[in-house]
Structure 1
Amino acid sequence: MGTSKEIEGAEKLSVLMARQPIYTKSQDVAAFELLFRDPDGNFIEGLKDKDATLGVLLGTYSSISQGGQVQNLPCFLKVTDSFLLDNDMPELPRHAFVIEILGHSKFTPAFIERIKSLANDGYRLALADYDPRDPRFGAVLNIVHVLKLDIQKLGLKNVQTLAQKLKPFQLELLADKVETQEEFRICLEMGFEKYMGYFLSKPEPVRGKKLSGNKVLLIQLLTELQRPSATAESVEEIALNDPALTYRILRVVNSAAFNLRKEITSLSHAIALLGMEQIRRWVMLFLANNDEDKPDDLTRNMLQRGRMCELLAEMAGREEPINHFIVGLLSQLDVMLDIDMKELMDQVPLRQDIKDALISREGSYGEILQEVEHYERGEFEHLRKLLDRQFYEVAYRHSMSWATQVMQAMQESA
């Protein structure tokens, strides 16, 4: 496992960046929208002449593991008028970026000619903030390829009629600000092709739902790992009740994410090499793993969030960074299992301070978790700045890479 020393030695960028997934109808990730702020609060001006920044965007920020394979997906890049019209605009790889035009752009003749030229050169263009009452947008609907419709701002009742009116333009319609699974289902029926929003992060609790047998075994393991008198043998004895699960845990532990020099062949061997705390981490990981009918992106985000919580805690000098990892990892377990978080906490053997953080964001664990949640959403203005700002982006970037590696190992071992 990497530590905060890796973060401190990593290349620092002059911007804060996060990414928000853009989903298909089947809730697979099709692209990412980049949330981007430079120190002056601008979106994209800091990208000019920054080859290192472009390299990071083309690498970590576009990378994802799906079906056991790492691939690079396109990134939607919000751009300002001045960035587009500037002769010094960097050459952006056409396959890697979708240029996103903001609704408050001034659609001057020069601007319209510029985006026509970009479209003719093979760039895909998206338009955000569309307002059907504003006649300015008529000039660009025949040029852009993707149209984002803010369903909260426009109102779901109006969106269906609007979608019908837009059909002649043959645009790819992207439903933005989809906040619940019900809204997703409604937009699906309307024929939207892409979706953005936090609908995957909202649980749909099923009253009285209990944990599955597989999860119960993981909780038994977790309980044993927390006992002061636990031994490698006592933990392994429980794990052997599900050899397939034990095999999968060992496959992940042996993956490239951990840089081990020799293969680990048993859980007791893993505990001897890595210690109880590390094995407790991976039992938690499998407790959070998706054996329900949930998209892979939820597991990916849980992994990424857990790792970033741990790194921020370590760099901020907080006690027990591994417990910050657990809090971050399990903070969406209610969504994964469709069990209300309070009910869920009654079913899992966790310390009360960890439960308090998960239910009401209390204490050090809750503070770090909130910090990471703000960063993920691009709410950079709400950060408490527990560290120098540059460390947030590097920790986020490292967490994305780590989650990609672990997802790949988990998918390969499934």
Structure 2
Amino acid sequence: MIDTHFITREPLLDPKQKVSGFQFSWQRADEQVDATKDELDALLQFVAGHLNDDEKGFLLGESQLFFEAVPELLAVDALNLFPAKNTVLILHKKHFANPAVVESVQALRARGFGICLRGAEVTTLERAFFSLASHIEVKFSAANFASQAKVYAALKQSPVRMVARQVGSWQDFEACSALGLHSFVGKLHLTPRPGTVVKSLNPAQTTILQLMEMVRKNADVNQLELVVKRDATLAYKLLRYINSAGFGLRSEVQSLKHAVQMLGYSPLYRWLTVLLATASTSGFSPVLLETAIIRGRFAELLGQMKMSKAEAENLFVTGMFSLLDRLIGLPMDEILASIQLPDVVTEALLSRSGVYGPFLALAEACELNSMLVGSLAETLKISAEDLNAAHLSALVWSKNVVTAG
């Protein structure tokens, strides 16, 4: 199963836009067909194996992980591999008619696991369910906002969190936030928030692009430091990123010169790419930034399986740049005109072709639950197991970077 199935993720946003968790699933051509107990058990085991560390523990911090469940899954050993407070099982209301299921749910809740109730009509839900569920899925409808507001206002007084599904626009997300709902946002994680129209790069972005060009040319580190010192906030953020767990450095980097001595120029370039994205003043959303960082790291890890370290590092930049137009609010060709990138990177960005194009396309396909994942992975001769492991590793790495920012 690990050799043939591909993991998909869907981000969960809290009312303040923070990515508070993910739902993990196996990719399925027909979403109406329920996964089997064996499939779900295999997913739990695989995810647990890659998100736990003997020394560091759970690697995604405070993030909550959601998994679809069937009654037979409630007693599998794989659940013991997860921290209970970070784990939520999604169970359909129809299963609660079985007393044995209710007993299993009560036992899991007593241990601290979450249960997300699916298929329930909130307005007629019996009070008994509020002690069994930590979350309740709701069907949000922008057309029926007023009546929903009354129902959800009452639920906000309970400890049960409401989770909206299929939130497809930022306008709908804002409505959900006003009601106190957490939201699974589908493809919204790739969509910029509406904001002020951007006509050109802002001063911080211009400075960062200047630094990127200097790094590309291996400029003297003293010259780099002079430019960085013009913006104290920029210097602070850059060192925060460099010292993030994403690099796993044994000692803290104290200055830009120290960073170049320890890491060289190539890793510095990647952090400047991240800084360029965070310097946006319009259309910025935390989930879009996190998606860009995941994409960059995911593409880099895929590249590490097939090419040199330097080429794989270029894939990180390729992945980050592929979302810069949405993060910054300027057309891609205008951004590319502002900085000199290797031809292979530009080729991948503009047409998903060349050496890097297929790796970028594969990382994108995994974000969209595209059925092209299998064929793209086969073309690159990357196994499902290696692809899934890289996907989860990219999530862990990006979480450390986002926390550092």
Report the TM range for the smaller structure's normalisation: 0.7 to 0.9
Residue 396 (1) aligns with residue 391 (2) = yes
Q: Is 1:175–1:195's contact at 8 Å kept on the other side of the alignment?
A: yes
> How many Å separate the matches in 2 of 1:116 and 1:230?
61
> How many Å separate the matches in 1 of 2:9 and 2:197?
33
> How many Å separate the matches in 2 of 1:254 and 1:145?
36
Q: Is 1:357–1:366's contact at 8 Å kept on the other side of the alignment?
A: yes
User: Tell me, what secondary structure is at the counterpart of 2:356?
Assistant: helix
Query: Residue in 2 aligned with 1:282?
Result: 271
> How many Å separate the matches in 2 of 1:45 and 1:140?
30
Correspondence list, 1:315-330, <5 A: 315-317=305-307, 320-330=311-321
Q: Which among 392, 402, 405 is matched to residue 407 of structure 1?
A: 402
Q: Is 2:96–2:102's contact at 8 Å kept on the other side of the alignment?
A: no
Correspondence list, 1:46-85, <5 A: 46=39, 48=41, 54=48, 56-57=50-51, 63-64=59-60, 71-84=61-74
Q: Select between 118-127 and 332-341 the one with higher mean Cα deviation.
A: 118-127
Residue 194 (1) aligns with residue 194 (2) = no
Query: Residue in 1 aligned with 2:341?
Result: 350
Deviation at residue 174 of structure 1 after TM alignment: 1.6
Q: Which among 70, 84, 96 is matched to residue 86 of structure 2?
A: 96
Residue 302 (1) aligns with residue 288 (2) = no
Q: Give the TM-score taking structure 1 as reference length.
A: 0.73
CA offsets 1:278-327 (integer angstroms, 9 cap, x no match): 22222212212356484544433322221111111121337822221112
Deviation at residue 210 of structure 1 after TM alignment: 2.0
Distance 1:276 1:187, change over 3 A: same
Q: Is 1:148–1:173's contact at 8 Å kept on the other side of the alignment?
A: yes
User: Tell me, what secondary structure is at the counterpart of 1:258?
Assistant: coil
> How many Å separate the matches in 2 of 1:183 and 1:201?
15
Q: Is 2:95–2:101's contact at 8 Å kept on the other side of the alignment?
A: no
Distance 1:292 1:214, change over 3 A: same
Query: Residue in 1 aligned with 2:359?
Result: 368
Q: What residue ranges of structure 1 are gaps of 5+ in the alignment? A: 1-11, 65-70
Distance 1:353 1:179, change over 3 A: farther
CA offsets 1:150-177 (integer angstroms, 9 cap, x no match): 55xxx53256545656777766332212
CA offsets 1:63-82 (integer angstroms, 9 cap, x no match): 44xxxxxx333322211244
User: Tell me, what secondary structure is at the counterpart of 1:95?
Assistant: helix
> How many Å separate the matches in 2 of 1:147 and 1:255?
35
Distance 1:87 1:296, change over 3 A: closer
Aligned-residue identity in percent: 22
Residue 239 (1) aligns with residue 228 (2) = yes
> How many Å separate the matches in 2 of 1:374 and 1:139?
42
Residue type of the partner of 2:228?
A: A
> How many Å separate the matches in 2 of 1:94 and 1:20?
20
Q: Is 1:47–1:54's contact at 8 Å kept on the other side of the alignment?
A: no
Report which structure shows greater RCO (CA 8 Å, sep ≥6): 1
Distance 1:58 1:101, change over 3 A: farther
Deviation at residue 207 of structure 1 after TM alignment: 3.4
Deviation at residue 54 of structure 1 after TM alignment: 3.5
Correspondence list, 1:5-404, <5 A: 16-36=6-26, 42=35, 45-46=38-39, 48=41, 54=48, 56-57=50-51, 63-64=59-60, 71-84=61-74, 90=79, 94-102=84-92, 109=98, 113=102, 117=106, 121=110, 123-128=113-118, 144-151=133-140, 156-158=142-144, 161=147, 164=150, 172-189=161-178, 191-197=179-185, 198-203=187-192, 204=194, 206-227=196-217, 230-242=219-231, 244-260=233-249, 264=253, 266-289=255-278, 292=281, 294-317=284-307, 320-351=311-342, 353-379=344-370, 382-383=373-374, 384-385=376-377, 386=380, 387-404=382-399
CA offsets 1:199-257 (integer angstroms, 9 cap, x no match): 34212364343222111111111122334x74444444433433553354345434554
Deviation at residue 260 of structure 1 after TM alignment: 4.4
Deviation at residue 194 of structure 1 after TM alignment: 0.7
Distance 1:123 1:311, change over 3 A: closer
Q: What residue ranges of structure 2 are gaps of 5+ in the alignment? A: 29-33
> How many Å separate the matches in 2 of 1:324 and 1:313?
7
> How many Å separate the matches in 1 of 2:120 and 2:146?
15
> How many Å separate the matches in 2 of 1:44 and 1:358?
40
> How many Å separate the matches in 2 of 1:212 and 1:219?
11
CA offsets 1:351-410 (integer angstroms, 9 cap, x no match): 5553453355343433222211222344466331120111112212322232233334x3
Q: Is 2:229–2:235's contact at 8 Å kept on the other side of the alignment?
A: yes
CA offsets 1:31-69 (integer angstroms, 9 cap, x no match): 33222469xx946525649767545456699644xxxxx
Q: Is 1:219–1:349's contact at 8 Å kept on the other side of the alignment?
A: no
Q: Is 1:75–1:98's contact at 8 Å kept on the other side of the alignment?
A: yes
User: Tell me, what secondary structure is at the counterpart of 2:67?
Assistant: strand
Query: Residue in 1 aligned with 2:31?
Result: none
Residue type of the partner of 2:357?
A: G
Q: Is 1:306–1:324's contact at 8 Å kept on the other side of the alignment?
A: yes
> How many Å separate the matches in 1 of 2:109 and 2:279?
43
| Structure 1 vs Structure 2 CA RMSD | 4.2
